[in-house]
Structure 1
Amino acid sequence: MRSIRYRLMEFFIIFVAIPVSFALEFSIWFKMIIAITGFIYVVYVLLKIENNKFKITQQLNWKQFWIRTVLKLLAIALLTTIYMYLVDKENLFMVLINKPLMWIMILFIYSLFSVYPQELIYRTFFFQRYESLFRSNTLFMFTNAALFSLAHIFFKNTLVMILTFIGGILFALTFKKTKSTLLVSIEHAIYGCWLFTVGMGEMLGFPS
């Protein structure tokens, strides 16, 4: 399973064929079966082939991580608040103000059941399986972000594709620096929760 040919086939199926297929019209149940099967495969490879232990390393630089994340969040918060105020003022902080209990529930469910699996697949798995296949680190990071954006093609929304590409760059840089699924998942959850909070959740598939 470590051969280049096998990994390239695996790469295409998991990160191109499956995401593109989800943009097509067919049974949601069949899509769920494909997604769950793919995730089980990823976990199996990480555990049995890549020998991951899923332990939190003791050498994490939490102070540096929080400084970087908060600074990026402030920039994201400023830009998205201005955007919502100018483009969709009615939905600015709508869920937080009108449905605070649902807001809290969705943040928890999203962070635990959406963010972590995404980061396990698109950062932990992707980096361990394919980084060695790229001679250019820049191309590798760009490819990771582009494929992360492609994973959201089923929304059929250009702004979503742009936002997830930018997010993909940020998450790839964080994972490259920290090698921590935990830290990149926390960062991903923070930014995603903010987009839901500011009022951009509907286009990203959050209930409103």
Structure 2
Amino acid sequence: MPITAQRRAYLTAEYVAVFFGLALVYFFLARGTSPIPVLLVLGGASVAYLLRSPAFDRRSLWRGEEVGLRPILTLWAVAAVAATAVVAALFPDRLFELPKEQPLLWLAVMVFYPLLSVYPQELVFRAFLFERYGPAFGTWTVAASAAAFGFVHIVFGSWVSVVLSAAGGWLFATRYRRTRSLLAASVEHALYGVLVFTVGLGQYFFHGAQT
């Protein structure tokens, strides 16, 4: 249903305040602390909002039948080869650094990262953002999701984190728009996160990274 210009302006301002303003507050006041507790709270708040929204299709929180692994894995395989080649060429000492030097930590990341980080992020940046701000952005909602997702990674202190996350955010938002499956977006997000931490780019996604 079309919305008024006033409502669109309000939602746009709210979007900026929530996804950019709060990210800056975190950056200046809480940088260096684990974002996981904040993610869990925001993920829970998103679920509460979504379940109270009469227009939201609750099946979108999972919709496992829409997880098409072939296109997801095909694109991921290309990205994995490219990422490995880039790290091998530019940062050879970092290639597979985490699994080689800290295998138990790497294993813990492989297990807990999708559960404690990926799904809450997808709740906030895909399901909630699309439901709340989709009426304001329309066909630009994917771009709004990617921009917000990229910018929030400023908390890691690296422009590389922001750029890579924005690219990933576009991919995950596009997947969610096509499938309306948070599980599909989360599986894709988890695969790229696992790749980043495995191949040697994890320094851009923990606090203290500087570049």
Fold shared per TM-score above 0.5? yes
Q: Compute the RMSD of aligned alpha carbons.
A: 2.8
Cα 1:111–1:206 change in 2 (3 A) is farther
Match of 1:77 in 2: 80
Indicate which of 41, 44, 57 corresponds to 2:63.
57
Residues 61 and 116 of structure 1: is their aligned pair in 2 closer, same or farther, counting only changes over 3 Å? closer
Shift, 1:43, TM fit? 2.4
Letter aligned with residue 156 of structure 1 = G
Which residue in 2 is equivalent to 1:19? 23
Instruction: Please tell me the residue identity of whatever aligns with 1:100.
Output: P
Corresponding letter in the other structure for 1:57: R
Question: Equivalents in 2 of 1:122, 1:176: separation in Å?
Answer: 12
For residues 61 and 43 of structure 1, do their structure 2 counterparts lie closer, same or farther at Cα, with a shift above 3 Å needed?
closer
Instruction: Provide the residue aligned with 2:94 in structure 1.
Output: 91
1:46 aligns with 2:47: no
Aligned to 1:113: 116
Q: Do 2:161 and 2:205's aligned partners in 1 also have CA atoms closer than 8 Å?
A: yes
**Paired AA for residue 121 in structure 1:** V
Q: What residue in structure 2 maps to residue 177 of structure 1?
A: 178
- CA–CA separation in structure 2 for the residues paired with 1:85 and 1:32: 30
Per the alignment, do residues 95 and 206 of structure 1 end up closer, same or farther by CA in structure 2, a change over 3 Å counting?
A: farther
Report the Cα distance in structure 2 between the residues aligned to 1:37 and 1:70, rounded to whole angstroms: 31
Following the alignment from structure 1 to structure 2, what is the Cα–Cα distance between the partners of residues 57 and 26? 35
**Unpaired stretches in structure 1, ≥5 consecutive residues:** none
Q: Please state whether the residue corresponding to 1:152 is helix, strand or coil.
A: helix
- Residues 112/38 of structure 1: CA separation in 2 closer, same or farther (3 Å cut): closer
Q: CA deviation at 1:8?
A: 4.1
Name structure 2 gaps, 5 residues minimum: none
In the TM superposition, residue 85 of structure 1 has moved relative to its aligned partner by: 0.8
Stretch of structure 1 that moved more, 71-80 or 92-101: 92-101
Instruction: Indicate whether 1:187 and 2:191 are aligned.
Output: no
Q: How many residues align?
A: 200
Residues 196 and 206, structure 1, Cα contact 8 Å, conserved in 2: no
In 2: Cα distance, 1:27 partner to 1:197 partner? 24
Between the aligned partners of 1:201 and 1:27, the Cα distance in structure 2 is 17
Going from structure 1 to structure 2, the CA distance change for 1:206 and 1:111 (only over 3 Å counts) comes to farther
Moved more, 175-184 or 45-54: 45-54
Quick check: 190-199 or 125-134, which moved more? 125-134
Distance 1:35 1:81, change over 3 A: closer
- Residue identity matched to 1:123: R
- Residues 40/6 of structure 1: CA separation in 2 closer, same or farther (3 Å cut): farther
* Contact 2:43-2:121 at 8 Å conserved across structures: no
| TM-score (ref. length: structure 1) | 0.83
Residue identity in the other structure for 2:51 = L
